[in-house]
Amino acid sequence: MKLLKLVPDHTNLDFMRWRNVALVLSLIVTVISIGYTVYRGLNLGIDFVGGQVIRVEFAKPVHIDELRTRVDRLGVGEASIQALGNQQTYQVRLPKPEGPETASNAVVSKLRATIPQVYPGARVDAGESVSGKVSEELAQNSAIAIALAMLGIALYIWFRFEWQFGVGALLTLGHDIAMTLGFFAFTRLPVDLNVVAAFLTIVGYSLNDTVVIYDRIRENLRKYRKMAILPLLNLSLNETLARTVVTSLTVLLALGVLMLIGPQVIFGLAIAIFLGVVIGTYSSIYISAPVLVWLGVEPDSFLKSEEKDSAEAQPA
């Protein structure tokens, strides 16, 4: 049987030739992403701003405008209503009401009681209510978690490699996070707790890619001490290209399935990770590697530590 080879054996692509173009492009998109996120804001779910969401399954198709009128008549605030797939399943979201922490909860009780009365056979499938206090804490904890994860991983890379690699990893991460934020700001997909898990996963995955490439760069820096830095980066990227392609494709394949036929509730999580993998693959080539050039990694910059580490060196 002939085995599938997505990437031919001896590729010699000149990745670094495009590094300045890629950098300018990345910079522009990053700036636009951050700017748009700041300007437009994220569509934060009730997890982070408080409020309530219920998911109702009706016995018969219901028109969205009719439902909206009915909910508005309850006088519990401006509802945002979204159809989930067909005309029988809706998600109704209400803003956090004024007043004490418990007010939010009372609104859900009211909706829960009213809907089956007006629409016989309707079933409240899921209901969530988050008070302002809890949502503030969740938002704060999530921000801390993402920042800590980024920092922790960058420190680990610094510890395992050289400081330039740590900085490179951190810049790559910043780029990926900015892009993903921009995506969520642009598509208005709700950002909930699951998406935070996705962000942390993107951080992990993008780093995974970067680490694999950095590992090869380190290996080649030790192996080819006379080679200039640009050809060396190209060589490393070409050597790991097959792995980059195969792994990214498999993960995208698995996530794509989850996104298309998996439970609707984790669509946000799946699409965020999917996107993160695409961005992470790009950035590990065009951000992580070129950054090393600008930070002055030279073929001999590993020498000192190399000599100290000679116990670890492999006989050629």
Total chain residues near another protein (CB under 8 A) = 78
Least CB distance to another protein at residue 196 (A):
6
Tokens at residue 76, please? 């519990």
Least CB distance to another protein at residue 228 (A):
22
Backbone CA torsion sign across 68, 73, 74, 79: positive
Give the angle 187-85-278 at the CA atoms, nearest 5°: 40
Least CB distance to another protein at residue 183 (A):
18
Q: Which is nearer to another protein, 4 or 311 (CB)?
A: 4
- Among positions 29-68, residues that touch another protein (CB under 8 A) are 55, 57
Query: Is 116 buried (19+), middle (13-18) or exposed (0-12) by CB count in 10 A?
Result: middle
* Contact (Cβ atoms closer than 8 angstroms) between residue 131 and residue 101: yes
Q: For residue 239, which amino acid is it?
A: E
Q: How far apart are CA 96 and CA 126, in angstroms?
A: 18
If one asks whether residue 105 binds another protein (CB under 8 A), the answer comes out as yes
Q: Which is nearer to another protein, 36 or 136 (CB)?
A: 136
Q: Which is nearer to another protein, 105 or 301 (CB)?
A: 105
Least CB distance to another protein at residue 247 (A):
5
Q: Which stretch binds another protein (CB under 8 A): 60-68, 183-191, 247-255, 293-301?
A: 247-255
Site track for another protein across 297-316, x = CB under 8 A: --------------------
Least CB distance to another protein at residue 160 (A):
6
Q: Which is nearer to another protein, 35 or 100 (CB)?
A: 100
Q: Which is nearer to another protein, 28 or 113 (CB)?
A: 113
Give the angle 44-46-49 at the CA atoms, nearest 5°: 65
If one asks whether residue 215 binds another protein (CB under 8 A), the answer comes out as yes
Question: HSE (CB half, 13 Å, CA atoms) of 61?
Answer: 4
Q: How far apart are CA 122 and CA 114, in angstroms?
A: 10
Q: For residue 177, which amino acid is it?
A: I
Question: Which of 201, 222, 227, 293 touches another protein by CB under 8 A?
Answer: 201
Count the helix, strand and coil residues of the chain and give each as a percent rounded to the nearest 5: 70, 10, 25
- Among positions 152-191, residues that touch another protein (CB under 8 A) are 152-153, 156-157, 160
Tokens at residue 209, please? 């890619």
What are 82's strand-pairing partners? 91
Q: Which stretch binds another protein (CB under 8 A): 73-81, 265-273, 279-287, 295-303?
A: 265-273
Least CB distance to another protein at residue 125 (A):
4
- Spell 21-54 as b/e; 16+ CB within 10 A means b: ebeeebeeebeebbeebeeeebebbbbbbbbbbb
Site track for another protein across 73-102, x = CB under 8 A: ---------------------------xxx
If one asks whether residue 21 binds another protein (CB under 8 A), the answer comes out as no
